[in-house]
Amino acid sequence: MANIINGSFRKSEPNYIISNEIKFLEKTENVKYDDSNILIVFLSPIIAILVGKFISLFNILGLIFLSIFKNKENFNQIIKSIYENILSPAMNTPETILKQYPEYFNEFMKIVGDYVDVYFYKNLFYFLTLVVAFMFVLVLMKNRNIFKISSFNFIKANVINIFIIFALGFASSLIISFLISTTGNISFAKESNVNNIFKLCLMSLSNIITFAYIHEFLFRGIIPTFFWRKLKFIDKKAERYVFLNIILLISSILFVITIWGANFLLVLNFILMSIFFRILTSIAYNISLNISYLIAFNLIGTFVFGYPILNFKNQFNLIGNTLNDYTIYNGGNFGILGSLFPTILLIILIVASVIFYDLLTQIIKKH
């Protein structure tokens, strides 16, 4: 710290950061992925979530049907309401079905909502989606030691560091959420039929934690280490590193566009966050700090303020509001990373972490 005050600290060279990340990749080379399909690994982030959504949808529809069918009077009433309010108007004016589909769908949800706690099942759907996606990750890592990457020994030895990074993610999300709330030109809609609040809290927290693990295992664990080994035919490690990053960049962009949607700020912020996480990985030789930051970041932005994650628009939040519109300042349905404010903050974090790289590395080693 004295060196910083005296202005005599040595600025870390970018290639030093890269070389440390290469060491991290080489450290995990003993985790074997060579028998996995290249295309499945490359598309694993997309496949994991889509498979999760597909299976969870059928589970939720089954649960809703059973809960309604338990009371046949309610079941008959809901069928009658759907016919009178949706099917009959649609049959009378079939050319307007596509144009009025959103209205019909909302009307359908209102009718069902009179008999079933739809909000509860929406949140259950998000929870099941992430659970199924996480199971997909485990299957992808079949017969491999998943803890080689997560490293519980690192977590036990770096509780203070993890807490510091958690606090940084907490503060980052709090600042962004505050800026969005004050200057984001937000139009809120109050969510109704919020029952089972305790269960919804547990689901939302589980979503946040599970998503952080899935995200980092895939983008900082499985995909990089797999392709680092597959690209061994490139002798020069620097060139192999460049090709690896091209693969990761394409995989990341496809993931963002498929799950969230096409939005320039969203893609840019996702890339900036990935760069920041790569620096954290380089500093710690581990992805635990990234997971800690991401959990804290989504805990505030999603669970407290209600900005969506993974385009899950109706996930439970303590405020109970959902966004109605989109601007570059509030992110809308794209979530907190669809806003301009994370762009500014992440650039600051990246620049600061590069400048003080040596100091951060010493702090990690010290603790």
Q: Residue 149 pLDDT > 60, yes or no?
A: no
- What does the pLDDT average to over 324-334? 78
For Cα atoms 213, 216, 217, give the angle at the middle one, nearest 5 degrees: 80
**Of all helices (H) and strands (E), which one includes residue 149?**
helix 147-150
Using alpha carbons, list the distances in angstroms from residue 338 to 98, 231, 332. Answer: 28, 33, 7
Query: Do 46 and 255 touch, CB atoms closer than 8 A?
Result: yes
**Separation in Å, CA 165 to CA 17, 18, 73, 178, 360:** 18, 21, 54, 20, 11
pLDDT above 70 for 310: no
* pLDDT digit string, tens, across residues 311-327: 555 677 777 666 667 78
| 33-49: average pLDDT | 81
- Pick the closest to residue 53 from 137, 138, 125, 136 (CA basis): 125
- Share in percent of the chain as helix, strand, coil (round to 5): 75, 0, 25
Three-state SS for 6? coil
Confidence of residue 5 (pLDDT cuts 50, 70, 90): very low
State the average pLDDT over residues 199-228.
86
Range with lowest mean pLDDT among 2-6, 63-67, 211-215, 224-228: 2-6
The chain-wide mean pLDDT, for the chain, equals: 79
Is the confidence at residue 7, as pLDDT, over 50?
Answer: no
The DSSP element (H or E) to which 188 belongs, if any, is strand 188-190
pLDDT value of residue 3: 38
Query: Rounded mean pLDDT of 8-36?
Result: 65
Residue 136 confidence (pLDDT) above 80: yes
Q: At residue 364, what is the residue type?
A: I
- Give mean pLDDT, residues 4-25: 61
Q: Tell me the pLDDT band of 4, cut-offs 50, 70 and 90.
A: very low
Alpha-carbon 101 to chain mean position: 29
